[in-house]
């Protein structure tokens, strides 16, 4: 059974930093790209960032480019999202998703339960 579980969310002040993580099991982690998708309270889904299966390529939404960094640990079957210079509009539930496709042409077949990041003073 595929399992994804995110942790590390919390309350952070504007301009601050936070790193969230997603541990996985139940599939061959190194065969799949992985992605972060977020959902602001009461809003729709927004793709944030993806990392290729071999960690060679990363892709970012314009809204987070230069502030967020996605990475993966191939031995710990875990992905990370380092978030810097956080803004109030980054407040959202952050989901990690097992990703199908290649070269940035991605869709998402399994999702974690999400971790809430709140940016507020």
Partner 1 sequence: DIQMTQSPSSLSASVGDRVIITCRASQGIGSNLAWYQQKPGKVPKLLIYVASRLQSDVPSRFSGSGSGTDFTLTISSLQPEDVASYYCQKYDSAPPTFGPGTKVEIK
Nearest in space to 85 (alpha carbons), one of 12, 3, 25, 5: 12
- The reply on whether position 104 binds partner 1 by CB under 8 A is yes
* C-alpha to C-alpha distance for 70 and 68, rounded to whole angstroms: 7
Query: Which of 23, 101, 116, 118 contacts partner 1 by CB under 8 A?
Result: 101
Residue nearer to partner 1 on the CB measure, 12 or 49: 49
Binding segment (CB under 8 A) for partner 1, from list 8-16, 17-25, 79-87, 106-114? 106-114
**Within 11-70, which residues bind partner 1 (CB under 8 A)?**
37, 44-47, 50, 59, 61-62
x-or-dash pattern for partner 1, window 80-99, by CB under 8 A? ---------------x----
Tell me the residue ranges of DSSP E strands in the chain. Answer: 3-7, 10-12, 18-25, 33-39, 45-51, 58-60, 68-73, 78-83, 92-102, 105-111, 115-119
């Amino acid at each position: 059974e595929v399992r994804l579980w995110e942790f590390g969310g919390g309350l952070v002040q504007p301009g601050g930093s936070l790193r969230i993580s997603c541990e996985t099991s139940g599939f061959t982690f190194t065969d799949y790209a992985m992605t972060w998708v977020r959902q602001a309270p009461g809003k729709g889904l927004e793709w944030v960032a993806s990392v290729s299966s071999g960690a060679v390529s990363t892709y970012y939404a314009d809204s987070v480019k230069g502030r967020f960094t996605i990475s993966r640990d191939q031995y710990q079957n875990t992905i990370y999202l380092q978030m810097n210079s956080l803004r109030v509009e980054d407040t959202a539930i952050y989901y990690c998703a097992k990703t199908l496709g290649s070269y940035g042409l991605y869709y998402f077949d399994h999702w974690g339960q999400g971790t809430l990041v709140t940016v507020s003073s």
